[in-house]
Amino acid sequence: MRVAVVGAGPTGLVLGTALARRGHTVTLVDRDPGPPDQHTWPRKGVMQFHHAHLFRSTAVAVARAEMPDAYDAWLALGAEPAYVDDALLGVRSTRETFERAVRSTAEAQAGLTIRRGHADEVLVVGGRAAGLHVDGEELPADVVVDASGRSGRATADLGERAGLGGACGIAYVDRVYRLRRDAEPGPMSTPMAYFSDHLGYLVLIFPHEHGLFSVILIRGSKDKQLTQLRETHVFDAACRAVPGLADWTDPERAVPVTSALTGGNLLNVYRSHRRPDGALLLPGLLFAGDSVCTTTPIFGRGVATSLLQVAELLRLLDDEPDVDAVAERYADWCDTTMQPWVVDHIEIDEGLARRWSGQDIDLEGRIPSDLVLEAAGQDPEIAAAVGPWASMTGLPASLDPVRERARAVYAGGWRPPYAPGPSRDELVALLGL
């Protein structure tokens, strides 16, 4: 089968390589020229490319199963697997290092071509996808996959897709540092990240490879004063003011290697394969990755949801030669298995906005998953139930049996403590904003 894929991001690269390894003839179309040998890869058009990424075990498992050589290349570039006991929790790496490893492996794959160009629109013949128009030329194909990411437009003219969501209500600024030679890393909350919750903002630190680490400051998107964190000197001052950050970014320990980077327009969006009337958008056209679902980056789930889709699509194609039957099943699977992650994040982000606005937890409504997780420390039965959700081996519904127990924890008056350090209002005053 000839497959044309819009996008050579994580989704397109892993899916395209896996399909080529199954004997299909695959063309990935991407406007990006690929990485330069020596310099940083600019990667315009993927806003988050230079922002902090963590790679969950769920994502790593798919990449490793389909492209074990790319996994080895990733480790050879310095990526660091992180374990709890003997179980892989994730891999510490910059996004650039991950994509370099996957892309170089894909480029060497027989049956796969990465074509530089802009996919203008889907070629439609007899009411089905029959390829792409790429820079005005036809690229014929039996199946088209839209893996164009969260803001791809290549299939937008085909009509409305059912879905839900919108802006997630948070924004963030991050900056990359490198540990000085022989310096020890700062404090960690898990082997993958340092996390602290302050009244009105959050702090995240993701270690990467070769002593690199990203510091992320997360605020409400309507918080005009904390917008100033995008100014590098304000970001630095905030780092000095917040205890965990001050440890990590102490000039004795680490040096910045980028300026402060702004990550705007963060989304919780689900886009189905189907039109609002339930019919598939176009026979012969499939969607995968962020073009199906994108979630707030706080929990670092995007590459995992993307590659879970890749794994499911491959599984269905392995079982069923009829692409139209696969499309129906895959569309249903996305609705039942991907959409709940977007809904989960909408609930989490609404609850966060509510708490940051000074209101208490809504004890009448559904308890968001992050608050179920917080309550785990107060109730062993909750603690026993949160693992599958946290590792993404279970859907958010796996927490439903203990949501009432979490509600009881909060109804009893307990609240997750805020981390030491200034609240949002205190930080604004300290920074003179």
Binding to ligand FAD by CB under 6 A, coded x per residue (else -) over 46-75, reads xxx--xxxx----x----------------
Residue closer to ligand FAD, measured from CB, 27 or 306:
306
Nearest distance in Å: CB 295, ligand FAD: 8
Nearest distance in Å: CB 153, ligand FAD: 6
DSSP-H helix ranges across 68-107 = 68-76, 95-107
How far is C-alpha 138 from the chain's CA centre?
32
Site for ligand FAD in 7-26 (CB under 6 A): 7-12
- For ligand FAD, which stretch binds (CB under 6 A), given 162-170, 299-307, 340-348, 377-385? 299-307
Q: Which of 31, 133, 253, 354 binds ligand FAD (CB under 6 A)?
A: 31
Residue closer to ligand FAD, measured from CB, 146 or 374:
146
User: Which residues are paired to 129 by β-bridges?
Assistant: 124
> Does residue 239 touch ligand FAD according to CB under 6 A?
no
How far is C-alpha 315 from the chain's CA centre?
22
Site for ligand FAD in 125-154 (CB under 6 A): 147-150, 152, 154
Q: Which of 3, 19, 29, 269 binds ligand FAD (CB under 6 A)?
A: 29
Residue closer to ligand FAD, measured from CB, 165 or 263:
263
Q: Which of 3, 4, 6, 171 binds ligand FAD (CB under 6 A)?
A: 6
Q: Residue by residue, what is the 3-state secondary structure of 305-327?
A: HHHHHHHHHHHHHHHCCCHHHHH
> Does residue 82 touch ligand FAD according to CB under 6 A?
no
Comparing CA positions, the residue from 203, 199, 262, 196 lying closest to residue 229 is 262
* Amino acid at residue number 240: R
How far is C-alpha 86 from the chain's CA centre?
25
E strands, 199-347, are 201-207, 212-220, 254-256, 261-263, 267-271, 285-287, 293-294
Nearest distance in Å: CB 358, ligand FAD: 27
Nearest distance in Å: CB 321, ligand FAD: 26
Name the percent of the chain in helix, strand, coil, to the closest 5: 40, 25, 35
Sign of the four-CA dihedral 54, 342, 30, 151 = negative
Q: Which of 200, 207, 220, 263 binds ligand FAD (CB under 6 A)?
A: 263
Sign of the four-CA dihedral 340, 343, 345, 351 = negative
Q: Which residues bind ligand FAD (CB under 6 A)?
A: 6-12, 29-32, 45-48, 51-54, 59, 118-119, 147-150, 152, 154, 263, 266, 289-290, 297, 300-304, 306
